Structure 1
Amino acid sequence: MNLSLTVLEIVAPVFILAAAGFAWVKFGFEYRIQFVTRLAMTLAVPCLIFTALMKTDLDKGTLGAFLLASIAGYVVIALVAHCLVHLTGLDRRTYLAPLIFGNTGNLGLPLVLFAFGEAGLGYGVVMLAVTSVLSFTYGIYLVAGQGAGRKALKEPIVWATLLGALFLWQDWETPRFLTNALDLVGQMAIPLMLITLGVAVARLTPGKISQAVALSVVKLLICGAAAWGLGLLFGLDHVAFGVLVLQLSTPVAVTAYLLAEKFNADSEAVAGMVVVSTLLSVVALPLLLALVL
């Protein structure tokens, strides 16, 4: 019973805020998702990442091991996803990126923060940075057939991560007044991302639902198994292990739909995976959380 209450206390705020965004749209209220997303990804999230890395008390060696485990996780998942798409004859441009990358920002970051506190946030921002860099390079290559390394270098999240890592490595800190200001801006990120997730899901028009259900379940099994195995292989501590499993097991991100729409892949099929995998996560993530707590 105590474990059930703990899991509920962790996941309830996440899904309540996402549901608020969903309801906001269904009631017909205006929500300028492009502006809010730009505000979050250009200002709030970079501030959150920088301050989380700068102030973390986590051991640098442990963070390094987690970084390697995160990269290895995506390598393993990508290899399995390539095999799956090839064997089933699915369109590579449509399905590979959604099968590989999860919603480590909007959904994963709040979840690990509520589950593991500041330590979880420290690991979570590392995972988000890895996901962002790979999504803006390899992810775009999968959908568009061309690289996008320059785009990754233009993303504030990437530079916030590099700067935060430098401050962490050198044990530097910004002046107190600046840290407080950055903290204040960063505190916007979590609620903005969750509400925006709900808004985005409400506005999507899903297609190929039965296929989306099957692929969402397969994605969850592949990602969960890869994360669990690599967490054990790298000897991660309890918190790092939990963050790795939860973050890699997050549902398909809305950005996968946006990329499919932009580069003329089957965006309705991707929208179906976003919606179905997000709904599936309402059940799956609490169960995974109960296993790793």
Structure 2
Amino acid sequence: MNLVLTVLEITAPVFLLAAIGFTWVRMGFDYQIDFVTRLAMTLSVPCLIFTALMKTEIDPAALTALSLAAVAAYAALTAVTALAIWGLKLEMRSYLSPLIFGNTGNLGLPLALFAFGEAGLSYAVVVFAVMAVWNFTFGVWIVSGGGSVVRALKEPLLWATILGGIFLSQGWQTPLFLTNTLELVGQLAIPLMLITVGVAVARLRPGSIRLASWLSVLKVVLCVAIAWVTGRAFGLDDVAFAVLVLQISTPVAVTSYLLAVKYGADADAVAGLVVVSTLLSVLLLPALLAVLL
């Protein structure tokens, strides 16, 4: 019973905030999702990443091990998922990215924070950064049918990660007034992203639910299995291992839908994956946390 209550305490704020966004839209209120997403991805999330890395007391070697494990896990997931999509004779540019890249920002970061505290958040931003770089290079290239792989160099979160890593390795700190300001801006990220998840799900019009359901289950199985094996192979400590598995196992990100719309992939199919995998995560993530805690 105590474990159940602990898991509910961790996951309830996540889904309640998403429910606020969902209800907000269903009540007919306006929500500028493009503006909020841009604000989060270009300002609040980079500030969150930078301050989390700069202030972490985790051994840099442990963060390096997690970074390598995340790269290896995403590489393996990419290869296995591509093979599965090829075997199922589905369109690679529409299905590959959504089945690889989870909602590591909107859901993964707050879950890691609520479940494992500041140490969990520090680990989670590393996995999120690896995912984001891979998504905005290889992911965009796949979805667009040949997009630029240098897009990542324009992403503030990449530079926030690099600067945060430098400050961490050198033991540097920004002046207190600046640190406080960056932390306040970073604190916007988690509630904004969670509310935006609910808004995005409320506005999506999914395509084939049956195919989306099977693929969502396939994504869960592949993500959990690959992250689990990779985390053990790299000998990660308990918290880093749990965060790696949790982050990689998050449902399909709304970003995948936005990229499909932008580059002319099958947006309805991706919308179906977002909705079904997000609903599936209501059961999956608490169960996964119960195993990992």
- Give the TM-score, by structure 1 length: 0.99
What are the superposed Cα offsets for residues 43-95 of structure 1, whole Å, 9 maximum, x if unpaired? Answer: 11111000000000010111111001101110111111111011110011110
Determine the C-alpha separation between the residues in 1 that align with 2:54 and 2:203: 37
Amino acid across the alignment from 1:134: W
What are the superposed Cα offsets for residues 194-251 of structure 1, whole Å, 9 maximum, x if unpaired? Answer: 0011101110110010000000000000000011111111111110011001000000
Determine the C-alpha separation between the residues in 2 that align with 1:70 and 1:206: 30
Q: Aligned to 2:150, what secondary structure does the other structure show?
A: helix
Deviation of residue 259 (structure 1)?
A: 1.1
Deviation of residue 149 (structure 1)?
A: 2.8
Q: Aligned to 2:173, what secondary structure does the other structure show?
A: coil
Query: Aligned-pair RMSD on alpha carbons?
Result: 0.7
Listed as ranges, the matches of 1:220-259 within 5 Å are 220-259=220-259
Runs of 4+ in 1 over 3 A off after TM superposition: none
Determine the C-alpha separation between the residues in 2 that align with 1:148 and 1:59: 35
- Give unpaired runs (5+ residues) of structure 2: none
What are the superposed Cα offsets for residues 117-162 of structure 1, whole Å, 9 maximum, x if unpaired? Answer: 0000001100111111001000011111224233211111111111
Q: Which residue of 1 aligns with 2:40?
A: 40
Bigger Cα displacement from structure 2, 255-264 vs 190-199? 255-264
Q: Which residue of 2 aligns with 1:75?
A: 75
Q: Which residue of 2 aligns with 1:158?
A: 158
What are the superposed Cα offsets for residues 85-118 of structure 1, whole Å, 9 maximum, x if unpaired? Answer: 1111001111011111111000111100100000
Amino acid across the alignment from 1:5: L
Listed as ranges, the matches of 1:128-207 within 5 Å are 128-207=128-207
Determine the C-alpha separation between the residues in 2 that align with 1:162 and 1:208: 40
| Equivalences, count | 293
- Give the TM-score, by structure 2 length: 0.99
Listed as ranges, the matches of 1:90-101 within 5 Å are 90-101=90-101
Amino acid across the alignment from 1:107: L
Determine the C-alpha separation between the residues in 1 that align with 2:186 and 2:274: 26
CA contact (8 A) 2:45 2:189 kept: yes
Amino acid across the alignment from 2:83: C
Q: Which residue of 2 aligns with 1:214?
A: 214
Q: Which residue of 2 aligns with 1:6?
A: 6
Determine the C-alpha separation between the residues in 2 that align with 1:93 and 1:186: 33
Determine the C-alpha separation between the residues in 1 that align with 2:93 and 2:222: 19
Determine the C-alpha separation between the residues in 1 that align with 2:127 and 2:214: 26
Determine the C-alpha separation between the residues in 2 that align with 1:136 and 1:242: 25
Say yes or no: does 1:108 pair with 2:108: yes
Say yes or no: does 1:30 pair with 2:30: yes
Q: Aligned to 1:149, what secondary structure does the other structure show?
A: coil
Determine the C-alpha separation between the residues in 1 that align with 2:40 and 2:226: 30
Determine the C-alpha separation between the residues in 2 that align with 1:87 and 1:141: 21
Determine the C-alpha separation between the residues in 2 that align with 1:116 and 1:10: 9
